[in-house]
Structure 1
């Protein structure tokens, strides 16, 4: 199975020994690194999903493609709004305050920063 962004996967001991037993993860794929690795292995970036269906941590994992399998599809978790935040500005358009925050800027994945040498 070749994962793609948006896939919900179970990452367990079949994918890599570090995820065996109670260390297994439900993982939402954000990106798949296209840099060459050992045959049958891949770097994935994504979010660990808890039992409630919420993302709890962003991770990069190195796993065997043959060990990946789809997770049972859980319903999306309802999004909570902050107190007083309606999600729209005074003009009725969507709020962009989170996008402007420097702490929320997207960092580039390490495999995209490397140059071919």
Structure 2
């Protein structure tokens, strides 16, 4: 997991996410935790990939679903 990664966080990553969210990773925090779990610092993002809230979340990386990067389409010239 690296800065800039976009992931879908679901219940598979942590029971607190019964409603899935999209999350843009800023960094993996080096806080002490249980084996197989990490703290992530980043932004919850909306459907247009705009930041909604900055958050630190406690999740199992094995339960995160990577989201393919969205390349914005360029307007066509006349």
Q: Distance in 1 between matches of 2:68 and 2:45?
A: 12
- State whether structure 2 residue 23 is matched by structure 1 residue 27: yes
Larger Rg: 1
Runs of 4+ in 1 over 6 A off after TM superposition: none
Structure 1 unaligned spans of 5+: 77-117
What TM-score, normalized by structure 1, do the two folds share? 0.57
TM-score by structure 2 length?
Answer: 0.83
Residues 17-56 of structure 1 mapped to structure 2, 5 A cutoff: 17-20=15-18, 23-56=19-52
Shift, 1:73, TM fit: 2.3
Q: Which runs of 5+ in 2 are unaligned?
A: 73-78
Which structure carries more helix by proportion? Answer: 1
Q: What is the number of equivalent residue pairs in this alignment? A: 72
Structure scoring higher RCO (CA < 8 A, sep ≥ 6) equals 2
**Counterpart residue number, 1:61:** 57
